Chains A and B, each alone.
Chain A
């Protein structure tokens, strides 16, 4: 496993909002094809870290790279240059993101949502993009709901459309920000199933989640983030069976 190339590398990542220091030196390494789950108490910096990976938030210090390329900066002759918005947008294209609140575009049908990235960003042909959108919707089990508006879909269905929308840009890294937290309990399973299948075909995924079962079964890596740092990290079964720190033990005691 360790011979696979490093996909995401974080070294000493810091981020503050005003005086509130949210990330205080995060280190993480995720290799291609791995599924990394991040768990931890709320306010621990999980979502912020995830948002830093595709530059929705700008980091204050440290290094964050995807495929060996710094996110948001270019390095030339030992000096860092801030990237132009267009270059950042280009970097984001190969990174898919799924949000807790789905964030589907309500004025577009499911198929139009899925097409929007390829058509607007890449300038793809509309007809082909539509066919591809229907195919992607089929992959998340919604092949017949292409003409439905998000409002007409259940939460689980909306989140699956959101996953299809992210996949439409052909990303090789998927970020999931608590994808099942806003769902009714009976709808969680259908979304996790889609994610599990995505993991099986080798997608690199970083998942912020409270679903410990998913983390244990699907995850190759589990990170416990607390107070702005990765407090513990390792193979899920091992560290869940043998949590080292008191805080991780406490956290597990609450969620399991």
Chain B
């Protein structure tokens, strides 16, 4: 501090000191007796407390915990299990009841839960606790409306399946003779476990699970779409991933709609002949490269190229030819291997949040746990056999979420268990869209010890391996499109 500053500070202190003297002179000591008597209440504050200090918490806390625990245990033990009453038309014996072909029955539990059993059905209340009950549906249909309560535990056993419920509404159908099983969700969430479903498949409101033990198939679908779909008997574990929640209106959605839709279904679409002709003129035929545009000026019906302004991807994604599978919606005709709980890639779904081009992508939840033998595989079944000889397959995808993730990727073409494709694209990172491609030549290079049937490929596989230093990561992977030319 400079001398001038010190002098200033000293002067300020002297001024305050002088002011303080003046105040002390003006406001001196209070007159004798000014404070008045000490209030009795105030005096008692000192004497009402115990002399000794409180016992430290570690001395009394265990005893308190034991006491509280005993009370809780006592309350738990003394609380009776749920009660229920049956109504309707039924024949009951012990806790089992059946309905005739022209009657229904309802079991109403004391917590408000109700189970409506359809005609020609058989069910049994296997166990009851204060938290819930275990119901076995031996045959027929039942509709469950389980009241959500903290700690509620309800289970529904259907054939080899088990449905864990916390609070929800859903319908169950079990056809013993055909070994068919169906769950239709109305609200809430359940987890279906048991045969075909591995450690458990979560089902949400609006979803339907259809399983066939005879065909060893299990399909999870959107209820509305499932009503229109007739191919529920797919290959085991092969699902047509349902659309994600309703997409928010975005510019990229408008872009996607401006571009012609590419239909990959076998069945002809239900458009008029004029519309079909126009679509043929606007887009390449499925699974075939587009013919080069004529040199002549484009006709009036030719759509103008729309430059996408995607937040996640971007770029001119309407360049021709369009990729054959764009994953705009689940009705494009492809199917996807759903994976089981141990798979690196699982829970396929059409996602409308992230897309390099258009308004949708195929999303998997990926989880690499450091196992060097574990690869993530996105297996997309094509609606037709495709001759890939001399063709280049391109896949555009992105891994999101884990910044340190490094991985390699390759494209395989498969027919049955046979696979072809050995071109790795290494050192890819998360958080950006990647476009990789592989050309399948006439001279086949078998992947494995068998020959490939590349001239009739039925599936395209994107295989991802974790590389680099950090090999334990998880996050969604989005496949925007698959094309070949």
- The reply to whether chain A is a binding partner of chain B is no
**B residues whose Cβ falls under 8 Å from a Cβ of A:** none
